[in-house]
Structure 1
């Protein structure tokens, strides 16, 4: 699909002659628009004589068109090629000789069969007969991956839509790399929030099991803290908490991955059961037993005194006073366990897990 204009939008729950392969998620558009004085006066004049207000009609048509355009853009960004069940509600608010239209549109983004980009293209697919369209899609996928491998792929709207709609999971490492470039201000054509939202939409377009595999396997094999952080954020935003994967992160030899595990255990799953409660108990015990002080404690003599004072040596090499009010290293701002002020510490994680277990236990059968 070349652009959002080609997305089908209908008010019905189905599209005649087209099979819906997947329902993605609701998409919305919100528009607030004021009417000018001329429109108000002319509308009142027309209403008085029982006629129609051409000015109002044009405004209404414009608002509806804008709403549908925004709905199409929202669907396009998450890899849809259709929107079903479109509903548009509008209210007019008047006061102090001024009027304002408030319009809300909502529909369900779907992937329709028989669209050139509706089916994911994988290297392992084999067919008795291959259409030109499928060949063209495979060519484009290979071209995108080649450019990404060479480091010169442009993240255009069309490329975003292609990799999202066709679920090109091989491009994920490159998209993470580009996210860091956006953070560093190297891609001025897009804001950090816009890029992140598109990255979330890209992940969300995959089947549920694939989402977990992509995110957690990337986290387990990745050492870049920026990448780990954005993966953690996506897991939180999409509620993709997996306690088995979380246990693997907590048990990693790399402290940065252990920290991500502590973050994830404080996130919420869509649903919990008795098995989850036991798993949370096990993870809590693991955290209590395995997160030890990373700094080393010792003592040193005080000047002009025979007494010794307790100190701790940070991983960064800085010596700190244990009795100081600030329990964080003066050099790197980490505590003796290796955590910064805003990090999820083992203590915070355990507190969150205890609260979660207590609440679940009150409601679970």
Structure 2
């Protein structure tokens, strides 16, 4: 069991042909959303048929899945590999004229025999059927992808609802392009920028952990637009997508730009840590200490009207700068320090400190 996503969840109090090794304890998870999540949809139902709305149903399913995923993480943290007797309740919380919608998932965390879990997974197979609803969804998905490829797609509320609910990962590159093209417009109207960022974050968050990681880190490795990189870093930070394996790929690449992006990401978090993460962070600390060298050159030059020499450093851009080449000294021409980093960038030294602090905190909790 190496991830919360692999935890088996059932609504029954027993599992046929599964050996239970240990009952741990009851666990719960909560998801709170503003009632406007639903009232906004009621204001303009464009997909109502037969008294039902696909958008409303998919929104409810998304919140339900979020609650169950949080329950899995709670079970994983105490060493369980299965949750029995799952129940999900919905309540409305109100006060001071405002109301919120809360979904609560509860269950019993247990440990089942690993061989039984594997057998259960092997027996689980999807039914080979194609529903009318599935055909309609696939048709609309293809239409959206085609429009996006031809830069004809309108990124309105209906678009975001569909690609998020149906996890249309093919449009992700086009969403990044759209963000880049709208930067000037966003600078004039920050509210539009915030709304686009929120919609993009909800869209990415709809995918599984592996799919999120693949989408975002593939883009981190290939994009060159600083604005897009900034947006991707925002996603990694808010969605806690720090991934050690992907970080190691970036650090060990021959591309210094990718290495610098890895340092920035190391200041973010992942949802949970284990003992293996401690070892991984210590290895990364060692790697950063040894492999991030000064990219400029230290030298001296004679002072005017004096035979004494003073220390200077020569930047990669060939500009000679006065000073000792410290982390806080930056080139007058390109703005980089002697290690090749700008003032606002994550530096090797402060990244190492952040990782050591994180390791210390993890060790106290484990």
TM-score (norm 1): 0.68
Structure 1, unmatched stretches of 5+, are 1-13, 15-23, 31-65, 92-100, 111-125
Change in CA separation of 1:258 and 1:142 when aligned onto 2, cut-off 3 Å: same
Q: Which residue of 1 aligns with 2:86?
A: none
Task: State how far apart, in whole Å, the 1-side matches of 2:334 and 2:286 are.
Answer: 29
| Residue pair 2:313, 2:324 contacting (<8 A) in 1 also | no
The alignment status of 1:157 with 2:157, answered yes or no, reads yes
1:146-225 matches, within 5 Å, as 146-185=146-185, 191-225=192-226
| Residue pair 2:312, 2:320 contacting (<8 A) in 1 also | yes
Task: State how far apart, in whole Å, the 2-side matches of 1:169 and 1:304 are.
Answer: 66
Task: State how far apart, in whole Å, the 1-side matches of 2:136 and 2:32 are.
Answer: 29
**In the TM superposition, what is the alpha-carbon distance from 1:234 to its structure 2 partner?**
1.0
Q: Which residue of 1 aligns with 2:253?
A: 252
Q: Which residue of 2 aligns with 1:105?
A: 100
Most deviating of 353-362 and 198-207: 353-362
2:351 to 331, 349, 352: 349
**In the TM superposition, what is the alpha-carbon distance from 1:109 to its structure 2 partner?**
11
Secondary structure in 2 aligned to 1:142? helix
Count residues in correspondence.
282
Task: State how far apart, in whole Å, the 2-side matches of 1:240 and 1:67 are.
Answer: 25
Change in CA separation of 1:298 and 1:72 when aligned onto 2, cut-off 3 Å: farther
| RMSD over aligned Cα atoms | 3.4
1:132-174 per-position Cα deviation (integer Å, ceiling 9, x unaligned) = 5433322322222122222232111111111111111111111
1:1-365 matches, within 5 Å, as 26-29=31-34, 68-70=38-40, 80-82=59-61, 85-91=89-95, 101-108=96-103, 130-185=130-185, 191-323=192-324, 327-364=329-366
TM-score (norm 2): 0.67
Change in CA separation of 1:187 and 1:131 when aligned onto 2, cut-off 3 Å: farther
Change in CA separation of 1:324 and 1:304 when aligned onto 2, cut-off 3 Å: farther
